[in-house]
Structure 1
Amino acid sequence: MSKLTDNLDANFKLFIEEVRESGQVWGLRYGEDWVVCRSAEFEDADVMPLWSAEVDARLHCVDEWADYEPEVIELEEFLDIWINDLNEDDVLIGPNWNADLEGQELEPIELAKALVELDA
């Protein structure tokens, strides 16, 4: 059962807490392709939605994403490789979007900072 709600700030905090605890981030993947969608906040921007729990990622494997499967990314790899690659590609990150695909959209470096801050 999903812990995500309509409270987008709480969903973001949950993302930080759970990713720090588990050391894992979840995206949706089909073959070599990962889910990336248009930003709701910024014109001409793309967002890669990510979740802190497999169950929440799996809930989004419907409709146009029905062929995708949750795929784990270890936190160390995410911070060492993915953050830089997403930043270079000008792709934002959508942490813990709820069932309505609502959530924050952050620059990759901002998410990385939040994940490594001790008092966040």
Structure 2
Amino acid sequence: MLQDIAIIELKYNTFIERAAATKSVWGLKSKTGWANSNSNDDEEISVIPFWSDRAYAKACARDDWNRYLPVEILLAEFLESWCVEMAEENVLVGANWDARMFGKESPALEVALDILNLLKASNTAIVFKNYSSVDDFIANINELPDDL
């Protein structure tokens, strides 16, 4: 069990680091929409998986998702649109899941903050539509109610 936890954390940290470095994430999309699943912890909570690399996403395009294709999402859009809207709808992020749907499920704003804090620590700028800077985005998230 401890090994599973360590693997999940490693995959999550890889997701955060690669997303910040490449300024993009990957999702799986079909003609009917984006791949999603139910939480392993609570069937009533939805999870949308994202991957840090195209190859990881492509490896999961099988079984129920065999008609899905990897699609790149620019990091600014992922943070501003996806993460904020997912938080409002109580949808979790599945980060770097493997083909067995094994991986961490995290609140979207937690994922956003982890990426934003890494961008800030590495002094990496990113252009947002709704925020003037990484610091502005972080401050905005920190001002949100805890139930988001």
* TM-score (normalised: structure 2): 0.73
Query: Runs of 5+ in structure 1 lacking a partner?
Result: 1-5
CA distance in 2, matches of 1:26, 1:39: 19
Distance in 2 between residues matched to 1:65 and 1:116, nearest whole Å: 30
Question: Partner amino acid for 1:84?
Answer: V
* 1:108 alignment partner AA: A
Structure 1 match to 2:114: 114
Q: Does the Cα contact within 8 Å between 2:59 and 2:98 map onto a contact in 1?
A: no
**Structure 2 residue identity aligned to 1:65:** W
- Richer in helix (by share): 2
The equivalent of 1:24 in structure 2 is 24
Of all paired residues, the percent bearing the same amino acid is 33
1:103 is aligned with what amino acid?
Answer: G
Distance 1:106 1:113 in 2: 11
Structure 1 stretches of 4+ with a deviation exceeding 4 A read none
Whose Rg is larger? Answer: 2
What are the ranges of 5 or more consecutive residues in structure 2 without an aligned counterpart?
122-148
Query: What do residues 52-104 of structure 1 show as CA deviations (whole Å, max 9, x unaligned)?
Result: 00000000111110110001110001111111111122210000012221111
The total of aligned residue pairs comes to 115
Q: Which has the higher contact order (CA 8 A, sep 6+)?
A: 1
Contact 1:26–1:72 (CA under 8 A) maintained in structure 2: yes
Tell me the CA shift for residue 20 of structure 1.
0.7
- Mapped partners of 1:13, 1:53: distance in 2: 13
